[in-house]
Amino acid sequence: MKQFLQQIIKDHLTPEAFDWLSGKLQDKQEHFSLEQFGAVFTAIPRKVGKTIIILGKKEKEMLISLRKGFSPDGWTAARFCRVWWLLHLPAAEEKGYLESITGLFRNADMEEQVALYSALPLLSYPQKFTQRASEGIRNSMGALFEAVALNNPYPSEYLEEPAWNQLVLKAFFMDKPVHRIIGLDERANKNLARILSDYAHERWSAGRPVNPQLWRPVGKFIDEIIIGDIERLFASGDALEVEAAALACSQSDYPGAKELLKAHLPLKRKIEAGELSWESHSIIQSPNHK
């Protein structure tokens, strides 16, 4: 991963910026000090800039092959370089490594924290950072929350259920693109389904819209209570809500859900043919739909 990120950086930075990074890496290898390591981490944006790095298809595929779920779409050059730089932090001794990462978090500004949270799935001793990830989820700053929650495989792999459920609920509350939550389908659970159902009722009571994607983690857990929500979606007459209801029913073994889906045969056939899914453009692009 270090080598491949370095190649991406080399391909997208100016020669002067890459030479600066290479020189700092050489200095680090010859004489490491945490203070100097942190100074380089801080200085990176001034030296490499904040241009968005646009990856090609092969680059994306290679990154996913190296780290499942890792997707740095939309990262700036500075974010790329900071994450790459973090991978050079000496990790042979666990206690010292964890203390170093803690120190970087403690002294980080917002953009530095974004890079640190983005690097979680690539850091050594990843199981030690669950509390840190939970802090990022609770943070009220959108950029920090997104760094943890979106295009990041770390939460789905390491967070306990309560923290995971909080992440998903907050993503809906903050109108984030929830389809970019890695593991959203795999980590669906009964408690989350109830939480999201309750949240939908709060939105409805306040006359506010409900993101159709909210029913994505709910479908597998439709029961005698949640089926009422699905019936409401079908009865709304709204095309997106009806599609979401059909998709949720297609995931369910609950008899009432199966019957509802049979009553909407054209949608059932579209789902079975792969013409309608949770990845459908219309559903993904309508988080604030009414």
Per-residue model confidence as pLDDT tens digits over 113-126 = 999 999 999 999 99
* Distant-in-sequence, close-in-space partners of 20: CB < 8 Å, separation ≥ 6: 47, 48
Identify the three-state secondary structure at position 20.
helix
Residue 257 — left, alpha, or beta (φ > 0 → left; ψ -120 to 50 → alpha)?
alpha
Nearest Cα to Cα of residue 184 among 148, 156, 220: 156
HSE toward the beta carbon, residue 173, CA cutoff 13 A: 17
Name the E strands within the chain. none
Report pLDDT digits (tens) over 188-205. 999 999 999 999 999 999
| CA separation for the pair 32, 243 (Å, rounded) | 57
Q: Can you list the residues of the chain whose pLDDT is less than 70?
A: 281-283, 285-290
pLDDT of residue 66: 95
Tokens of 270: 């579209």
Using a 10 angstrom Cβ sphere, with 0-12 exposed, 13-18 middle and 19 or more buried, the burial of residue 225 is exposed
Residue 67 is given by DSSP the state S
Report pLDDT digits (tens) over 249-285. 999 999 999 999 999 999 999 999 999 999 986 667 6
Count of positions (residues) in the chain = 290
